[in-house]
C-alpha cells in the first residue's frame, strides 16, 4: 500500500512539474513573439534606411535592387549555415535500434528461460534475494 501512495505522490509531483514548465514555456513564448515583432520592425527600418542612403547616389530603382541583392546574399548564407547535417550519434542509435529489432524479431523466445545472464530465472532469483535481504535489514 505504501508503494501505491508513493507512486501517487510521484505522479502528482510530476503533474505539478509539467504544469509549471508549461506555464513557463507559454510565458517565454509570448515574450519571444513580442521580440520577433520588434525584430521584424527593425529589419524593415534597416531596409528603409539602406534604401534612403543608396537612393541619392544610385537612383530609386537601383537602390531597391541593391537592397534586394543584399537580402539575397544574406538568405543564401543563412540557408548554407542552417542546412541539416549528418548526426553520427543519431545514425548509430538508429543502426542499434534496427539491429535490436531485427534480432528480437528473429528469435522472440530465445533465452527466455535460460539460466545464463539475462534470462527470466536469474531475474526472478535476484528479485527474491533482494526482497529477502531488505526484509532482514528492516528487522
Which pLDDT score, from 0 to 100, does residue 138 have? 72
SS3 track for the chain? CHHHHHHHHHHHHHHHHHHHHHHHHHHHHHHHHHHHHHHHHHHHHHHHHHHHHHHHHHCHHHHHHHHHHHHHHHHHHHHHHHCCCCCHHHHHHHHHHHHHHHHHHHCCCCCCCCCCCCCHHHHHHHHHHHHHHHHHHHC
Does residue 78 lie in a domain region? yes
Tell me, what's the pLDDT at 9?
86
Q: Which pLDDT belongs to residue 92?
A: 87
- Does residue 23 lie within any of the structural domains? yes
The mean per-residue pLDDT over the stretch 115-138 comes to 65
Domain housing 33: 2-83
pLDDT of residue 75: 93
Q: What is the domain count for the chain?
A: 1
Is there a domain that residue 96 lies in? Answer: no
Residue 138 included in any domain: no
Identify whether 116 is part of a domain.
no
Amino acid at each position: 500500500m505504501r508503494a501505491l501512495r508513493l507512486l501517487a505522490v510521484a505522479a502528482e509531483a510530476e503533474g505539478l512539474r509539467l504544469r509549471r514548465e508549461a506555464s513557463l514555456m507559454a510565458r517565454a513564448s509570448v515574450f519571444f513573439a513580442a521580440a520577433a515583432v520588434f525584430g521584424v520592425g527593425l529589419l524593415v527600418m534597416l531596409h528603409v534606411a539602406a534604401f534612403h542612403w543608396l537612393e541619392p547616389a544610385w537612383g530609386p530603382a537601383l537602390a531597391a535592387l541593391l537592397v534586394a541583392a543584399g537580402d539575397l546574399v544574406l538568405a543564401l548564407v543563412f540557408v548554407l549555415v542552417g542546412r541539416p547535417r549528418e548526426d553520427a550519434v543519431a545514425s548509430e542509435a538508429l543502426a542499434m535500434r534496427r539491429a535490436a529489432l531485427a534480432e528480437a524479431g528473429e528469435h522472440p523466445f530465445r533465452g527466455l528461460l535460460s539460466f545464463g545472464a539475462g534470462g527470466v530465472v536469474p531475474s526472478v532469483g535476484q528479485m527474491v534475494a533482494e526482497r529477502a535481504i531488505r526484509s532482514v535489514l528492516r528487522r
